[in-house]
Amino acid sequence: MLDMKFLRENPDIVKENIKKKFQDAKLPLVDEVIELDDKSRKIQQETDEMRSYKNKIAGEIGKLMGQGKKEEAEQLKAEAAKKNAENDGKLKDLDDEKAKLDARIREIMLTIPNIIDPSVPIGKDDSCNVEIEKFGEPVVPDFDIPYHSDIMESFNGLDKEAAGRVAGEGFYYLMGDIARLHSAVISYARDFMIDKGFTYCIPPYMIRSRVVDGVMSFAEMDSMMYKIEGEDLYLIGTSEHSMIGKFIDTITDEDKLPMTLTSYSPCFRKEKGAHGVEERGVYRIHQFEKQEMIVVCKPEEAMDWYNKLWSYTVELFRSLDIPVRTLECCSGDLADLKVKSCDVEAWSPRQKKYFEVGSCSNLGDAQARRLNIKVKGKDKKKYLANTLNNTVVAPPRMLIAFLENNLQADGSVKIPKALQPYMGGKEKLEKVK
């Protein structure tokens, strides 16, 4: 969410940014919110003057009484009582009007996109995203690679049929070595981030609506979040939501920044819209687990942390012998709160192309403004923090990349050295006879 003062003083910049994001339907909102803000501030001035009059008259009456001018004081008191009675009725109407104006102003401000970084490529949708760099050599072996669910089933490691009977489409049972591999990847990712200096955290898996409003746009909420019926609670779609929410309404001393956290959680998503759930495999599903990283920092440090975060994901995937690339998200593919974002994509030998396994985002002060996350500088002045997040790993999607890139011709799966301690020392997984 933008600063209202910035929007008021820079409407052309805000409109140009909206155009860059190909959201021209939102252009009239800029003028509307400026007009509403002007009305709200005028009402505030008027109500302040009314309340000031009440305090001023009370002081004058007290002064007259102190001087022994009781008759004059009583006359002024009678006049003031009449005036205050008129003002009280008007104050209520004005306060009600201002509350409605402010509610509409907030509604609009929540939909106007954040100002994107100048380095973001301009494009309408994800087809305009730009490859930045490749890491590792993509290899296509001289044997056929089965579909990922077939690989899992060759180890008796996946049961979607039973999950369908229990929970419906978009769920799964992971079994045996595949389930163990899933847990091993999560544990390895946890320790990998701890070694980078991040504090490990297990957050709440449900959050209140105010936190939802603070961490994402309404469109994202509608397509992602599951609401708990009869409660002001939502299941998280990623632990970033509750991790950023951890700092709601807080003021942190500047010398305690940056705060770097890595969190584990299950994630729950509707997967509503064009993509939907995947019927056969486990690429797009309603429930999965994830290791996440978040940073709360000073504004001037945000871009340095952005580059560190995505590089950590690249390093982790390469340690598991998975080739990856980074892809810069264009303006039209950025969610409204994001300043800059890139995807980390893993190589799929079966498809002979890369696919998304993680996303790194710099959100500037947008989430901090919504959630009132402030920093107190050495000069005692307060300012908004910047927030960033990035996927470490998100099985089972990460398992797809792992299995395809470590599959051997005999159907076994090689376990890279980095992961072997988490798999009981196993060097490979053998197909179930």
pLDDT of residue 71: 75
79 pLDDT more than 80? no
Asked whether residue 222 carries a pLDDT value surpassing 70, the answer given is: yes
Distance CA 216, CA 224 (A): 10
pLDDT given at position 6: 96
- Identify the pLDDT of residue 84: 65
Q: Single out the residue of 266, 260, 219 nearest to residue 239, CA to CA.
A: 266
pLDDT bucket at 49, cuts 50 / 70 / 90: confident
With helix as H, strand as E and coil as C, how does 359-408 read?
EEEECCCHHHHHHCEEEECCCCCEEECEEEEEEEECCCHHHHHHHHHHEC
Q: What is the pLDDT of residue 60?
A: 72
- CA distance between the termini of the chain: 57
Q: Rounded to whole angstroms, how far apart are CA atoms 283 and 403?
A: 13
List Cβ neighbours of 271 (8 Å cut-off, separation of 6 or more). 170, 277, 284, 285, 286
Residues 6+ apart with CB under 8 A from 204: 236, 242
* pLDDT tens profile 325-370: 999 999 999 999 999 999 999 999 999 999 999 999 999 999 999 9
Specify the pLDDT at position 279: 63
The arithmetic mean of pLDDT across residues 64-76, rounded, is 74
Q: Which domains does the chain have, with CATH numbers?
A: 4-109 (1.10.287), 126-429 (3.30.930.10)
Residue identified by tokens 């008259």 is 57
DSSP for 180-205 reads: HHHHHHHHHHHHHHHHTTPEEE---S
The sign of the torsion formed by the CA atoms of 420, 424, 425, 429 equals negative
Distance CA 213, CA 226 (A): 14
Asked if 143 and 349 touch (Cβ cutoff 8 Å), the reply is no
Token pair recorded at residue 202: 């297990």
Instruction: Give the pLDDT confidence of 362-392 residue by residue, as tens digits.
Output: 999 999 999 999 999 999 999 999 999 999 9
| Amino acid letter, residue 408 | Q
Write down the pLDDT at residue 431.
87
Pull the structure tokens for residue 416: 């890279």
Residue 273 predicted with pLDDT over 60:
no
Tens of pLDDT along 3-21? 999 999 999 999 999 999 9
Helix or strand (DSSP H, E) at 19: helix 11-20
Place of tokens 């209140």: 208
Q: How many CB atoms within 10 Å of residue 264? A: 18
- DSSP letter for each residue of 88-120: HHHHHHHHHHHHHHHHHHHHHHTTSPPPPPTTS
